[in-house]
């Protein structure tokens, strides 16, 4: 009898612990659910960005270099939610792509936006097998695709791959994405380089934005002074791995941003960076302090 009581107590404690854990997971995931949330995940040397709208629309831009993205998604989504509305694969370098394949294996995805490499020789043939299994709708972005997110809310996805600069290298096949949300805006630059930035500046586009995801992990081959001046952001986010082998972010890029009095956040120093939009005010939350 004494043994049974001890066993029953252990079971009861386990049930209580599990209930508290699941409750905390749901609470944490649903916190600020009535606001726009944009999470810039610390996935090492790569990109992983997750957008959650107050209307329950989930958008993932790239997936980083490995399975880390799965842990990150679990931290901002309820454990029972395995659905993502839109996945945007900006280009086919593995530090953006490989984790996205892991996501495809574990989440139901409605639509996948992508941009094939200029010569069609990239690893998308690998992805297509996973996509077919998930039965997602594939949309190749040739110029501009617009996702309607509601009144005064939209996501524009641009491809410049057919331009001369866009054909110069795989980085310049990157999709550029702009989120406009009730008067506020985010610009996600993937790995676009300076020669393509020059081409973009020549187009009739509204580039001014509040928050920019700095291109190519802060590389000096991107993020030209002219481009940053046109965008004129208040906040810059750099997705970059700690002590990476490429010297990212470039000190020159940091200096350009500092000269413009731009507030800078970096995943190597700040960890995960979540920006919550509340009545046009930004609340920035990080998992590290430096």
User: What mean pLDDT do residues 184-210 have?
Assistant: 96
- Say whether both 118 and 21 belong to one domain: no
- Say whether both 256 and 175 belong to one domain: yes
CATH value at residue 134: 3.60.15.10
pLDDT digits (tens, 9 = 90+) for 128-181: 656 665 668 889 999 999 999 999 999 999 999 888 776 778 899 999 999 999
- Say whether both 11 and 121 belong to one domain: no
- Say whether both 21 and 79 belong to one domain: no
Range from 11-20, 193-202, 226-235 carrying the lowest mean pLDDT: 11-20
pLDDT of residue 25: 47
User: What mean pLDDT do residues 18-40 have?
Assistant: 68
- Say whether both 217 and 158 belong to one domain: yes
- Tell me which of 117 and 230 has the higher pLDDT: 230
Long-range contact list for 64-67, CB < 8 A, 24+ apart? 64/95, 64/96, 64/98, 64/99, 65/94, 65/95, 65/98, 65/99, 66/98, 66/99, 66/102, 67/99, 67/102
- Say whether both 23 and 65 belong to one domain: no
pLDDT digits (tens, 9 = 90+) for 67-85: 999 999 999 999 999 999 9
Q: 21 is in which domain, residue-wise?
A: 1-30
Q: How far apart are CA 174 and CA 163, in angstroms?
A: 12
User: What mean pLDDT do residues 206-232 have?
Assistant: 98
Strand-pairing partners, residue 38, are 51, 275
Strand-pairing partners, residue 275, are 38, 284
- Say whether both 41 and 119 belong to one domain: yes
Q: How far apart are CA 37 and CA 239, in angstroms?
A: 17
- Say whether both 100 and 240 belong to one domain: yes
- Say whether both 104 and 232 belong to one domain: yes
Q: Residue 214 pLDDT more than 70?
A: yes
- Say whether both 85 and 177 belong to one domain: yes
- Say whether both 94 and 19 belong to one domain: no
Cβ atoms within 10 Å, residue 49 = 26
Q: Nearest CA to 273 among 281, 265, 282, 264?
A: 265
Q: Helices 68-76 and 94-106 meet at what angle, rounded to 10? A: 60
- Say whether both 152 and 223 belong to one domain: yes
Q: Structurally, how many domains does the chain consist of?
A: 2
Cβ-contact 62, 90 below 8 angstroms:
yes
Mean pLDDT taken over the chain: 88
pLDDT digits (tens, 9 = 90+) for 92-132: 899 999 999 999 989 999 999 998 764 455 556 566 656 66
């Amino acid at each position: 009898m004494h043994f049974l009581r001890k066993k029953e107590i252990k079971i009861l404690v386990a049930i209580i612990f599990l209930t508290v854990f699941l409750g905390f997971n749901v609470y944490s995931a649903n916190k600020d659910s009535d606001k726009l949330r944009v999470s810039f995940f610390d996935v090492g040397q790569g990109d992983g960005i997750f957008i959650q709208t107050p209307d329950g629309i989930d958008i993932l831009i790239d997936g980083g270099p490995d399975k880390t993205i799965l842990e990150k998604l679990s931290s901002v989504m309820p454990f029972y939610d395995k659905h993502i509305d839109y996945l945007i694969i900006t280009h086919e370098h593995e530090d953006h792509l490989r984790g996205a394949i892991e996501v495809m294996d574990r989440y139901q995805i409605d639509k996948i936006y992508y941009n094939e490499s200029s010569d069609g020789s990239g690893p998308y043939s690998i992805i297509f097998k996973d996509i077919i299994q998930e039965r997602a709708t594939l949309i190749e972005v040739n110029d501009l695709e617009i996702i309607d997110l509601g009144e005064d809310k939209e996501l524009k996805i641009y491809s410049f791959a057919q331009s001369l600069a866009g054909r110069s290298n795989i980085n310049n096949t990157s999709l550029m994405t702009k989120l406009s949300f009730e008067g506020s805006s985010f610009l996600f630059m993937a790995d676009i380089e300076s020669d393509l930035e020059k081409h973009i500046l020549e187009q009739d586009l509204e580039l001014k934005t509040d928050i920019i995801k700095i291109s190519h992990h802060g590389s000096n081959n991107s993020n030209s002074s002219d481009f940053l001046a046109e965008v004129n952001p208040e906040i810059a986010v750099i997705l970059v791995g700690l002590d990476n082998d490429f010297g990212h972010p470039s000190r020159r890029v940091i200096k350009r941003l500092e000269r413009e009095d731009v507030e800078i956040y970096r995943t190597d120093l700040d960890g995960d960076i979540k920006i919550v939009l509340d009545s046009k005010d930004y609340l920035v939350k990080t998992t590290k302090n430096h």
